[in-house]
Structure 1
Amino acid sequence: MNQLLSYLPEPILSILEKWDTNVLLITIASFIAWLAWRIIYNRLEVLVEKTRFHWDDMVLASIKTPISTLIWCWPATLSLGFVLEDHFSSKLDWLSTLKLLLIIGIFIWVTMRLVNNIEEYALTQKSHDETTVQAVAKVSRLFIIVLGTLTIMQAFGLSLSGLLTFGGVGGLVVGFAAKDLLSNFFGGMMIYFDRPFKVGDWVRSPDRQIEGTVERIGWRMTVIRTFDKRPLYVPNSVFSSIVVENPSRMLNRRIYENIGIRYDDGAKVAAIVSDIKAMLENHPDIDTEQTLIVNFNAFGASSLDLMVYTFTKTVNWVRFHKVKQDVLLKIMQIIRDNNAQVAFPTQTLKINPLEVQDLSAKAFSSQHELQGKE
């Protein structure tokens, strides 16, 4: 090798002897390394696509851009150091710190991209709960940022023990100053771990005028879209002090109606009750494993009241009303088939004929007296 180099011209030989301190050669070497990385990446991409696992795809996608950036930035840092040292004729200690910060930044970048890729993949899987996936991803990103910040501080020469001591005292001050912010933060943590609702659920609170569909659960507030399409921004701390109802998790929807029959059809009540109950037991959209009650319930002011209490199989709001309409129409038909009628508010006025005659006689005599006076 040395014999081959001896045949090269003296200027080229002098450049090659100092290749690691020559900016042009470092740039060329960076370009060659970048081309090699692109070739290796494309080959690896073909290999991971043939595997059944998705983790290798996500890891490879996470390191693609950061590695390319490192290939260009690391030699650029070396070149910058050589140029500055030639001008200032002194060693620059901060360049070593800059290189360390570059490594730390690349590591944080790779891990953050990996967390984002895993989150996106997990959200596409229906078997994973969306709220839990987002919570784990947010906690992971927060942990990476805190760890990276502490590492960067240590790279600058700061004492972590002193920093943690100061952080303990400063945490008390910040805790008092940002009490509401912290309460919202821990309220969000409570939502993530207790999971009273998740993104996409219909929620409402009997304590507050809160009802709608959950769009996003953040660290500070939860966004709920009301049914008139207005966004509602609720601080997370509110959910620790109110009752929250989650109708999205109901197992059935209830049909509970009181139907009045005329008093004139009292003899037909037993047959009507039996027919309605048989109809519900054979209805394809009624869950017969739940409570099913059809009974003569009360003597109303103008009707004999029948109670119909049952549950549908569907929990969908639109589908439920279609089933309820079908049930009510069939009940009305059963009443007609039994030659009965649904009652409506009525009053019966009873008149005594003798009292009517007395009133008529008095009215007639009063009229004659008035005519005589005239």
Structure 2
Amino acid sequence: MDAVLAFLHLSTLTYLYRLLITLGVILIGAVVLNTVLQKFLRTLTSKLADRNLPWPSIVTWGISKPLSILVLLYAVYSMLLALPVELIGKSVLANVSTVVDVLVAAVICWASFRIIERAKIVFKDHGTADMTTVLAISRLLQTLIIIFFALNIMQKVGFNIQSILAVGGIGGVALGFASKDLLANFFGGLMIYLDRPFSEGDWIRSPDRQIEGTVERIGWRLTMIRTFDKRPLYVPNSVFANISVENPSRMLNRRIYETIGVRYDDGRVVKAIVDDVRQMLQQHNDIEQNATMIVNLVSFGASSLNFFIYTFTKTTNWIEFHHIKEDVMLKIMDIIEQHGAEIAFPTTTVLFGEGGEPLTNEVVSIEPDGSASSN
């Protein structure tokens, strides 16, 4: 009897030793494999980035940490499988298997999110695409990933996906009627992302609404605009489907359009003034020479001979534009002065006779259409 007990004791100890060795091998193997994989992926990511291969480097960077979690997760799962079934129980093992499947799906979802976020950073740094479109596509992909992840989890824990989708279809109709404004804003935001009438950072205005400012954020429901007095303006996306939107940020040039009047006494030098102003604009370094440029005498005013300038600057920057416009206006003043002329201003001339009485008793008035009438 003692021999039998000794044999059983020896067998138990042998089994425990083997079990511990198995668990140790699994654990050490997982740590070594994880270390080798992480070093390999870091090196591969660096080399791909150096060779200007952004997409492979994005993928390798995105899966590096999730892959490490997967290795450790399967190591723990393998260690549980190595334990005696009597010690854990079949029902526990079945539940552990379901939990592992859920965790694997979560890790894959995390890896997908990391790849998307890394791609956004690469696009932003390289400037190879419009960031508004990139953000729209990334949000759409993340939403789809979450939906697929949720459906996958529900299927693994025993829910009937077909029944859920059928009920969801009926409920979706009712929900659509109840939230039509929300859906209108959602699809309005989608159209903004697809049509790209403006992007984040653009200055926009609408002649149909009191909307003007800089776009700070384009969401799925609202677009936030910072007005020029620094107040936030939140506009539902559906509004942009029914209004005209002007985007001054995308203008190619800024326009200078001014009318200048000189005295009638300077009529003989008007042509020379106009020619010199035209030449000055043609030689100005900040004026766009390939755009329309007009400098002409245009009208006989009530007290001045009027000529106008119509030209465009190379810059679209608001502050730089006003510096250029100021320089052009000062040079026009210098040209007028060089010709011995003066800029006109509204005047009235009254002629008196020798007795101090006006030469005529008629009062002449100028009608809005330019004709004169006397009383």
Distance, in Å, in 2 between the alignment partners of 1:178 and 1:184 is 10
Counterpart residue number, 1:117: 118
- TM-score (structure 1 length as normaliser): 0.84
Q: 1:203 is matched with which residue?
A: 204
**Equivalent position to 2:47, from 37, 45, 50:** 50
**How far, CA to CA, are the matches of 1:89 and 1:195 in structure 2?**
59
Calculate the TM-score normalised by the size of structure 2. 0.84
Q: Distance in 2 between matches of 1:84 and 1:124?
A: 54
Q: Give the superposition deviation at 1:95.
A: 2.9
Please give the alpha-carbon distance, in whole angstroms, between the structure 1 residues aligned to 2:89 and 2:307: 102
Deviation at 1:226, TM superposition (A): 2.3
| Identical aligned residues as a percent | 46
Give the total of aligned pairs: 345
The question of whether the paired residues in 2 share the 8 Å contact of 1:203 and 1:247 is answered with yes
Instruction: Quote the offset at 1:333 in angstroms.
Output: 0.7
Deviations for 1:191-233, whole angstroms, at most 9, x for unmatched residues? 1000001122111112222222222211111222222333222
Aligned letter for 1:54?
P
Distance 1:349 1:82 in 2: 116
Q: Tell me if 1:30 matches 2:27.
A: yes
Superposed displacement of residue 86, structure 1: 5.5
Distance 1:90 1:43 in 2: 38
- List structure 1 segments (4+ residues) > 6 angstroms apart after TM superposition: 78-85
For residues 88 and 130 of structure 1, the distance between their equivalents in structure 2, rounded to whole angstroms, comes to 52
State how far apart, in whole Å, the 2-side matches of 1:208 and 1:219 are.
21
Is 1:215 paired with 2:216? yes
1:41 to 14, 38, 59: 38
Q: Distance in 2 between matches of 1:101 and 1:245?
A: 49
Q: 1:107 & 1:118 partners in 2: Cα distance?
A: 17
What are the ranges of 5 or more consecutive residues in structure 1 without an aligned counterpart? 1-8, 358-374
Please tell me whether Structure 1 or Structure 2 has the larger radius of gyration of its CA atoms. Answer: 1
Q: Distance in 2 between the 1:91 and 1:157 partners? A: 15
Question: In structure 2, how many angstroms separate the alpha carbons of the residues matched to 1:90 and 1:291?
Answer: 84
Quick check: 58-67 or 336-345, which moved more? 58-67
Query: Secondary structure at 1:275's aligned position in 2?
Result: helix
C-alpha distance 280-103 of structure 1, shift in aligned 2 (>3 A): same
- The separation in 1 between residues aligned to 2:82 and 2:182, in whole angstroms, is 48
Change (3 A) 1:315 1:296: same
CA, structure 1 residues 16+263, in 2 after alignment: closer, same or farther (shift >3 Å)? same
SS at match of 1:350: coil
What is the deviation of 1:188?
A: 0.7
RMSD: 2.6
Task: Give the drift of 1:90.
Answer: 5.5
**Counterparts in 2 of 1:177 and 1:42: CA distance versus 1, 3 Å:** same
Tell me if 1:316 matches 2:313.
no
Instruction: Provide Cα deviations, 1:99-132, integer angstroms capped at 9, x if missing partner.
Output: 2212211211111111111111111112221111
Aligned match of 1:66: 66
User: Structure 1 89/331 Cα, relative in aligned 2: closer, same or farther at 3 Å?
Assistant: closer
SS of residue in 2 equivalent to 1:91: helix
Q: Deviations over 1:64-98 (max 9, x none)?
A: 22223233334545667899976785524433322
State yes or no: 1:148 paired with 2:149. yes
Aligned match of 2:170: 169
Output the amino acid matched with 1:29: I
Distance 1:89 1:49, change over 3 A: closer
2:225 touches 2:233 (CA, 8 Å); kept in 1? yes
- In structure 1, distance between residues paired with 2:17 and 2:87: 22
Are the structure 2 counterparts of residues 207 and 252 from structure 1 closer, same or farther at C-alpha, using a change threshold of 3 Å? same
